[in-house]
Amino acid sequence: MALTHFSRRSLAATPWKNGGGTTQEIACWPAGAGLSDFGWRVSIATIAAVGPFSVFAGVDRSIMLLDGPGVVLRSRDGRIDHRLDVPHRPFAFAGGAQIDCVPLGAPSSDFNVMARCGQWQAELQVLEDAAAIDAAPHGVLLSLRGDWRLDDQGEVCREDEGRCWTDAPRAWLARPTGPDARLAVVRILPAGPRP
């Protein structure tokens, strides 16, 4: 099992081809996979200009505003018209949708989770209180606000820092060290049969 610690500040930023923003990859599976062959991927994007989202057919996506005024997401078929302007509230959509993104003023940063349909399913939630996090073979934790204790040994995950684990089930006990804390939790599990 690989367990890695990361900080938002130290993640490398890759400019988008269209010049409309940058992406900081937190993790992907399998390790070293590209945009066409990942099973799952978790990243942070900074959106600075109007433009289309990349299309990922056969991928389930979740997006969540981290900071900034937010964006409006509109699909070209009219099925999606969503204002992403409340921090830490996940929004799920199909990666194959053709979506145009319009910033609501200044640049915004968002948290992105993608999972290949039929291979993986990703669950994204935000904790505000102490909770036991069920085991998952892959996952990511990111402290959105405040500091969190993540195990019984007293290890502290500071704001804007996180943990990523791959290829072995891991459970956590997460406890905030103060009020108004928030922790993003991504659990990635093998895909089950679709209804």
Architecture of domain 9-116: Sandwich (2.60)
DSSP string across 42-104: EEEEEE-S-EEPPP-TTEEEEEEEEESS-EEEEETTSS-EEEE-STT--EEEETTS-EEEEES
Domain ranges in the chain are 9-116, 120-190
SS3 174: strand
Whether the link from the prior residue into 193 is cis, omega within 30° of 0, is no
Residues whose CB falls within 8 Å of the CB of residue 146, separated by 6 or more in sequence, listed in order: 159, 176, 177, 178, 179, 180, 181, 182
What is d(CA 188, CA 178) in angstroms, rounded to the nearest whole number? Answer: 28
120-190 has which fold? Jelly Rolls (2.60.120)
pLDDT in tens, 73-97: 999 999 999 999 999 999 999 999 9
Which tokens hold the place of 51?
């433009």
> Which pLDDT band holds residue 23 (cuts at 50, 70, 90)?
very high
> Does position 57 have pLDDT exceeding 70, yes or no?
yes
